[in-house]
Chain A
Amino acid sequence: MKKTLLFAGLFATLGASAQLGFNPHIDFVNETDTVYVPSSLIKKQVLFIGGTHMVQTTDTYGNPAGAFPAKQWHDFIGFTPDNTSNDLGWLSVNHEMVLADDNIGDGGGMTVFKIKRDPVTDSLMVVSQTLADGRTGEYFNVDFANTVGETGMNCGGIQSSADGRIWTAEEWFRYGTSDIYANGAGVRDTADFTITGSGIAVADGQTVAKYENFNYMVEIDPKTASAVRKQYNWGRQPFEGGAILPDNKTVILGADNTPGMLTKFVADVAGDFTVGKTYFYKEDAPTKWIELDNSDFNKLLHFQDEAIALGATMFNRLEWISYNPKDGNVYITETGRDNPAGSWNDEYADGGIFAKHHIARANMQYATGPDDSDYRDYYGRVLKLDMTNSDISVHIEGGPDFASNVDPTDYPSTHLSNPDGLGFITIGEKTYMLICEDLNGTSNGRMPMGTSNKTCELFMLDMDINSPSLNDLIRIAEVPTGAEITGVRGLPDGKTILFNCQHPSSSNPFPYNNSCTIALTGFDKGFLSAPKVDYDANELKMYPNPAINVVHLNKTTDVGVYDMNGNLIQVLRNTNKINVSSLSSGTYIIQTAEKETKTLIVE
């Protein structure tokens, strides 16, 4: 039987070869069945380009103030509203690096600038300013070197939910002075550091090894482009994210480490963060939070060791922390690490306790526990800290995470892996979570199989969905090859989402070969009008969603896109949407595997 069929198959195809794809050229016929894609509602602007825009510096290391190319590796973006003028406010951008610089200052750093909105077009404009110290320009370097001491690897940070005050996080935990010196390429002044003027009683007057003056949350004032204090009383930890609640007293802080711990600080007086109590999270304790004596400077310097000894809950690389104004809870990204066992087993032995969701995951994987070398945590997740009872639960789990065989039809078309930056935006009545990916790798479905390049994406998630799944994620941006998407920030007017494209690599066109701060504006203009797709229709139907540059199809099929000359320019397989962002304005023919055609006009 088989042989007969085979023979028939061969016989039928003698002569010309059969085809398994789209003809590279067709005669272009303008179909009457036409779909219009209006020009995108979302406008893109590049606000700040590393290595290109000049920042105004102060007198540093004996070098006079001047204008020098900004550092790269943009990460956190903080927004501080200006309530005294028509300008929107100040943006503070982190530079997640450690690099010697005679003018900007060694280590990492921060750049601040002020923005306003064009009343007609809604686009953002950088405002020229003259600061109190006499510096004039658009972009200003935050002076750390002459004030609180250099910073390093300024990664995440805090934008206070109360008033927009800004802290930058020094991630990159350092264990010795040679670590920060880096053969003269990092921080060159390695003399012991005497802390003065922090206003924190336990710290002022202390002299520490230079490396011990790194790894704090550091407050800055974006209005004067100056540093305020390193927050010694919150402990010395590899901080990444943090949130200050509207009470202007409660601070939630996360450390990017395996194990990473959660810290809380409660100020005695609203707005004064120099005096208060410091706690670490202990899931199995009745009150969940255990105080760590912040009048003992030594304990603050060795915060993790102290907390682990007292049974702190251990997470796997906590990244950003963000306060959701809609439900009053705090959300935390936990990015994961492929094989964490080797990294947290010592701390486990010292008394640390694995977060319960890790124990549950390990059970699912038939590992003896999170300390088992077989325990895997490839994708990470977003956690929810319920502020009413301090319970932590998983809000959305990264994936595609399958412990066992999965039916292809159940395979999610959207993958979320290694969530990092986190924020919220309220558009009209709706609040959305904003999630930045920072892929730890390409394996295990973090990229589609057969794709070896990394592409990081920015997702929105409707917070009205109670138990969201990966298919609820709305992809709104992806960054060029090699780049990580960082620092997402929704502006309070619901119009603009800001993010950084960090360390893009090779062969991207300017300016995307530098770290850039990008603004997407127009989310208030009908973003919510998601199409109602008629999946029951037999014939092909297409639904443009200009906000996210996508045309939805009413079925999953193969699609060939032809230009006006009838030349095949794009092929999509097994898809139910076409991303038109790479198509320039013009007329195209869309052909499906079933040979249905439609004309597509991109405005």
Chain B
Amino acid sequence: MVGVSIQATIMIKTSILFVFLTVLQLVNANTKPSVFLKQDLIKNYALLVEEVNQLQRATLVEKIDWEALTQVFFDSRNAYKNVELLVAFLDPEFINDYINGAPLLKIERKTDDMTILNPKGFQIAEEVLFEKNLPEFKLLVEQLQARIIEFGNRLPSLYLSERIVFEAMRTQVIRITALGITGFDSPSGFNSLVENNITLKNLEKTASAYYGFLNENEQVKLKTIFKQGHSFFEVKEMDAFNRYQFIKQFLNPIYGIILQVQKELFIETKTMVVKSGYAVNYETENIFDTDFFNADYFANYANSGIEEKKIALGKTLFYDPIISKNNKRACASCHHPEKGFTDGLKTSVAFNEIGHIDRNSPTLINAIFSTRFFWDNRAGSPEAQAEHVIFNPKELNTNYNEILGKLNSNSTYKKLFQEAYPEIKEINRQTTLSSLSAFIQSLKSFNSVFDQSIKGKIPVPKDVEAGFNLFTGKAACATCHFIPTFSGLVPPLYVETESEVLGVPAYNDINKAILDQDLGRYGNGRPKEKADFYKNSFKTATIRNIELTAPYMHNGVFNTLEEVVEFYNIGGGHGWGIAPENTTLPSDELNLNATEIKQLIIFMQSLTDTTGMTAVPTTLPTYKDDLLKDRKIGGVY
């Protein structure tokens, strides 16, 4: 997200919208809530159209009053937030393309040439508004108006079911948690408190359409928790908003309660209706649950074999240097369990100990929760990731002929594969990759001090709460390191892993500041990603277990978390004076003081959890062959 500095404080007038934001009840107990909600949506959508028409007219006046124009603009935003819950769920692609997508360049989907699309919608318009660029603003508003009208025309034909309403409500809870209160979609951050208040009221209104079908206890439960949620909005500004407590006391519980109500009302869940895979596991009641995601969704070979045996076999393969050409290197060579599955080096040692590979070894814990792998986002699955390392002459430097030959000559391995894959039985490319992938899929960590506290299992340490509120607020970390993975996996659908351009220096010396020359995503070999805006762009890594994974960044340039936070605090590459033109990090300084930096780091350190993941096998299958008999568990180097 790109930040915009606010020059003036402008009061937002109370919109006529709020009249419609009162809690609604069914007028007729026989009307299905979805039917009623559709009518309500169409009515509120008409108000959005009206507001946007007014906005468009306001850009045409002879002498622009920027203050007044800003007010009219935010009236439109508010009207959008009042329909966002259903609209953004029903056609996420359309909303992202034209209405409320990130203000960043994009590559057009599904074309053979590479066409770069300019951002459209509210967010880019907000940026342009604060730059007071009238011609550009006029054009963006005109386009926005056309698209909003276009979408409205499709609403009457919409078939809304109760299931869709419940999925939309739960998706909206995720959106508020991971995007709304972190300020992701309001570049200026300026209207954030009002907008989040509207989304909350809209969520309550939607839920209340079902009150007539619930018994009194259920109704009281819902009314109570919504009251609790509203109490957070008594603050004057977003900076004072306690995001941690809002998530803990309201968002996370309501995410579970809505599912409980859905089941109580016999409304079928997505799991029963939709056959294809989804990233979010609909059946969990908690955003920080270990199974909040379907790990399967992110893997390629997830549907064969017996899970526990695959994991055990994958773990053996992970620590067995048999998977390298010289039988001296294992996956574990660069991914030590005690270092959060990294190696503590700036960049890892290369094959035959000749030099180093190009980039820093990333953690494997929660690595599965990603749609792209490697710092340059080049691989699309954990299996493809493993193959890149297997074939790379600087890494394992081998091929399937060699690996499968060695594995097939061992009776223990044969037995392990047969047991793990009773149907396939063979040791082949698929079963080998599938096993390694199963082990990676088992490295899930959502039970850190932070997780336990936000789930209410342990009291929260004061600095962890303060640090989380900085992370998701003033320090603006969570607009890229999204809840709950704290990585670039984008909510609320979690089907895309982002990369960012920060302007990372080549050397850890601000007096000799030079931009690291690694082109990152631009050079990842995918023809459709060779776009200038991907130069120096790197995958947004997870913050979980960061305490264990120093040094930091794709080139390991920073040794401590203090150095990393200081880098961001002065505006990243901007502060170092080396930010390339396409930098996606805002140039603003964060103005974190020493206490805040300390709290931020304490929060990050509270994300450590390697429980049950670090045990190393005590033996490997034995060979008589001279080259293979003395293999070292985890590799020689």
Contact = CB atoms under 8 A, between A and B. Distances in A.
Contacts of B527: 98, 179, 182, 186
Contact of B154 (A5, A15, A445, A573): A445
Interface stretch (A118-126, A131-139, A401-409, A461-469): A401-409
A582 B272 CA distance: 12
A507 interface: yes
A9 B29 contact: yes
Given A2-B27, A20-B266, A568-B272, A153 B112 contact: yes
Contacts of A445: 154
A374 B146 contact: yes
A400 B216 contact: no
Contact of B303 (A376, A402, A509): A509
Contacts of A15: 215
Interface stretch (B157-165, B323-331, B346-354): B157-165
A405 B33 contact: no
A506 B299 contact: yes
A163 to B, nearest CB: 30
A574 B159 contact: yes
A537 interface: no
**B210, B297, B525, most chain A CB atoms within 10 A:** B525
Interface in B263-312: 263-268, 272-278, 294, 296-304
Interface string B254-267: 00000000011111
B379 to A, nearest CB: 12
Nearest to A406: B157
Contact of B113 (A6, A257, A560): A257
A24 interface: yes
Interface string A421-445: 0000000000000000011111111
Contact of A453 (B110, B159, B264, B278): B278
Given A10-B212, A173-B113, A20 B303 contact: no
A17 B264 contact: yes
Contacts of B294: 507
B307 to A, nearest CB: 14
A235 interface: no
Given A5-B29, A18-B265, A183-B523, A573 B297 contact: no
B240 to A, nearest CB: 35
Contacts of B298: 506
Size class of the contact patch on chain B: 35 or more
A481 interface: yes
B28 interface: yes
Contact of A21 (B212, B267, B276, B429): B267
Contact of A408 (B110, B159, B263, B272): B159
**A337, A343, A448, A450, most chain B CB atoms within 10 A:** A450
Nearest to B524: A183
A334 interface: no
Interface string A390-419: 000000000010111111101100000010
Contacts of A257: 112-113
Contacts of A14: 215-216
B93 A582 contact: no
A402 B299 CA distance: 38
Given A452-B493, A510-B304, A407 B92 contact: no
Contact of B302 (A24, A442, A507): A507
A513 B162 CA distance: 33
B156 A452 contact: no
Size class of the contact patch on chain A: 35 or more
A453 B218 CA distance: 33
Nearest to B90: A449
B54 interface: no
Nearest to A512: B303
B89 A450 contact: yes
A480 B91 CA distance: 21
A406 B156 CA distance: 7
Contact of A402 (B92, B153, B210): B153
A162 interface: no
Given A172-B112, A444-B94, A513-B301, A506 B381 contact: yes
Contacts of A480: 276
B517 interface: no
**A19, A153, A258, A449, most chain B CB atoms within 10 A:** A449
Interface string A492-525: 0000000000000111111001000000000000
B97 interface: yes
Interface string B121-146: 00000000000000000000001001
B90 A450 contact: yes
A410 B154 CA distance: 12
A22 interface: yes
A418 B111 CA distance: 12
A290 to B, nearest CB: 25
A156 to B, nearest CB: 12
Interface in A11-69: 12-24, 51-52, 69
**A182, A505, A572, most chain B CB atoms within 10 A:** A505
Given A18-B265, A257-B112, A453-B278, A507 B91 contact: no
B154 A444 contact: yes
A238 interface: yes
Contacts of B364: none
Given A256-B112, A573-B163, A582-B275, 17 more contacts: A6-B26, A13-B215, A17-B264, A20-B32, A173-B113, A257-B112, A338-B97, A402-B157, A408-B158, A441-B110, A506-B302, A507-B277, A507-B294, A507-B299, A509-B304, A510-B430, A513-B303
21 contacts: A13-B212, A14-B215, A18-B214, A20-B33, A21-B268, A98-B527, A153-B112, A257-B113, A317-B111, A343-B113, A374-B146, A410-B157, A443-B91, A444-B94, A448-B159, A449-B159, A505-B300, A506-B300, A569-B272, A573-B163, A574-B159
Which 4 residue pairs across A and B have the least CB separation, nearest first? A9-B29, A443-B94, A571-B268, A443-B93
Interface of A: 2, 5-6, 8-10, 12-24, 51-52, 69, 98, 153, 171-173, 179, 182-183, 185-186, 238, 256-258, 317, 337-338, 342-343, 373-374, 376, 400, 402-408, 410-411, 418, 438-445, 448-453, 455, 480-481, 505-510, 513, 560, 568-574, 582
